A and B are shown apart, each in its own frame.
Chain A
Amino acid sequence: MFIETKNLTKKFGGLAAVNKVDFHIEKGKINAIIGPNGAGKSTFFNLISGFHRPSSGTVLFKGTDITKLPANKIAGLGISRTFQTTSLFEQSTVLDNVIVGHRLRTKSNLFDAILRTKRLKREEKACRDKAMEVIEIVGLTHASDKMVASISQEEKKRTAIALALATDPEIIFLDEPAAGINSDETQGLINLIKQLNQRGLTICLIEHKMSMIMNLADHIMVLNYGEKIAEGTPKEISSNDDVIKAYLGGSASA
């Protein structure tokens, strides 16, 4: 099992945002988590990526317990993510935003900086090359020198994905990558996600629009009020009664 959560729970005060969720992510697949707003999807990502400490339960990556690792260590293991709202550096170029994404694979320190050592020059080139490579993958080569503030919402999403890719991940978590962009652009992003997957990257994405997921994901989990109410292939999910109820505005307990 690639990534596995066992009994994962996060309580905010009295509210269980994620409640005893057992889930597994298969290597090389496109996995998806769906559910209504407030279902706990983002929180679930935050638990796996080390942003929140779970109240209980464990997260395993390739069989090792990573539950207590800080976010930057988890990134180092090859687990990358994007945020629901992008927080790029607007006053800087796409390229400059992405270059620092490869920093975690470099070693040069303050002394390398002051002395401008060979190692620093080599690693700076490595970061720049990596950035250009991932910018090309996401299809933004033409915009690499533009200020982030001046590019479209969809291009910002692509930049955020490029930044995540620059860390050399084995798996990438995408939190509502299609939020706030129109349906044509959404199709473009779907193609990008498929293409990343074909390159061997494992994907796990959050989406609250069911339509987008159904012809993209291999494996789906549905969250409602923090609980897993269903899991399976798109076909199984779309015919599941509990899921239909949750999506038709009824509560999970109804």
Chain B
Amino acid sequence: MKIMNKRTGLIALFVLAILFPLIFQNDYYTHMLTLSFIWAIAVYGINLLAGYTGYLSLAHAGFFAIGAYSLGLLTVKAEMNFWPALVLACLITSVVGLLIGVIALRTKEHFFAIYTLCVGYIIYLVIDKWDGLTGGVRGLIGINAPSNIGPITFETAESQYYLVLTFLVVVIFVIYRIVHSLTGRTFLAIRNSEELAQTIGISTMKNKLTAFVLSTFFAGLAGALYASFVRFIGPDIGSTAIMFDLLMYLLVGGIGTLSGPLVGTLMLVILSQNLQFLQEYRMLIFGPILTLIIIFYPRGISGSFFDWKRKRRNQTGNVLKPIKVEEG
């Protein structure tokens, strides 16, 4: 019964997502939602590493930017078709991720966070200063929308919405599969205790690197989609400000949960759109909210919701049902 409820809930959500542009017929909302989905893909990537493997990376806005610039440069300067460029952009980001991961993963905890923060900043600087390639502060303009697949074109807001929604669903599905597999259990064992993971024969470096590269892949994918959706990119997309936005989405939604990245991203993107008039001062509202959530709900909205449901189920006298941490 429980599973039925969950499944019907998911199906309802999915149907809602499909119908959304048809119901609202409002390009602004469709556009905003598309953008949130793109950010959510990046947050899912960060979550796989930070939430399930225990390594908080602050370089992922940088990887997002690498994905975005790769796609932008490949389609604009190399005049490549969108689809091969998308694949290449993800690969380029993953390769850079691999090279950085090999070094970064020699550090742990706050050293890892600080190291990756520096890496992220360096990526930003390279993009900003390498005028000849990236266009520097002027940015890169004239990026095309995704090219058509046969008769399907991606010029309208709705079609782009559906394209991005498809990617998001696939990403969530892939991450669901990973998290609920032996590989996912291995990641969790590392998050729990690296020492213990090693004694039970897990090659921690190999697995951490897998999680790291995967997470950069998703960040790169999000970046590439962003570039072709917004059609203009500047170095700012790799800035620490973006990194902290992504991190905020993850923490508010629920780190280490499956629904957290989507919940957090949607909520905060919509909230910040509605607080647009406050401009830079939005942080005056977000700052305290974030602090309160971290103090009182360290597992974020999704995590706390499932904790609460579990408690309620136990109190109503049902058999003590085990909850896997992955739930949410």
Contacts and interface: CB of A to CB of B under 8 A. Distances in A.
Contacts of A114: 174, 177-178
Contacts of A104: 200-202
B186 A103 contact: yes
Interface in B165-193: 174, 177-178, 181-186, 188-189, 192-193
A146 to B, nearest CB: 7
Interface stretch (A72-80, A206-214, A231-239): A72-80
A49 to B, nearest CB: 7
Interface string A41-59: 0000000011100000000
A151 B109 CA distance: 29
Contact of B322 (A71, A93, A116): A93
24 contacts: A70-B198, A70-B203, A71-B198, A75-B201, A83-B199, A87-B196, A88-B192, A93-B324, A96-B322, A96-B325, A100-B188, A100-B200, A100-B202, A104-B201, A108-B181, A112-B182, A113-B182, A114-B174, A124-B181, A127-B182, A147-B323, A164-B199, A164-B200, A167-B200
Nearest to A115: B177
The 3 closest A-B pairs by CB, nearest first: A104-B201, A113-B181, A75-B201
Given A70-B198, A75-B198, A87-B196, A96 B324 contact: yes
Interface of A: 49-51, 70-73, 75-76, 80-81, 83, 87-89, 91-93, 95-96, 99-101, 103-104, 106, 108-110, 112-114, 116, 120, 123-124, 127, 145-147, 163-164, 166-167
B214 interface: yes
A89 B188 contact: yes
Nearest to A49: B199
B131 interface: no
A65 to B, nearest CB: 19
B155 interface: no
B188 A123 contact: no
Interface string B303-328: 00000000000000000111111000
A157 to B, nearest CB: 14
Contacts of A146: 320, 322
Given A108-B182, A164-B199, 11 more contacts: A50-B198, A72-B199, A89-B189, A93-B322, A99-B185, A100-B185, A100-B188, A120-B181, A145-B320, A147-B322, A167-B201
B204 interface: yes
B200 A75 contact: yes
B192 A89 contact: yes
A51 B323 CA distance: 32
Contact of A87 (B188, B195, B203): B195
A80 B320 contact: no
B272 interface: no
B210 interface: yes
B193 A106 contact: no
Nearest to A113: B181
Contacts of A70: 198, 203
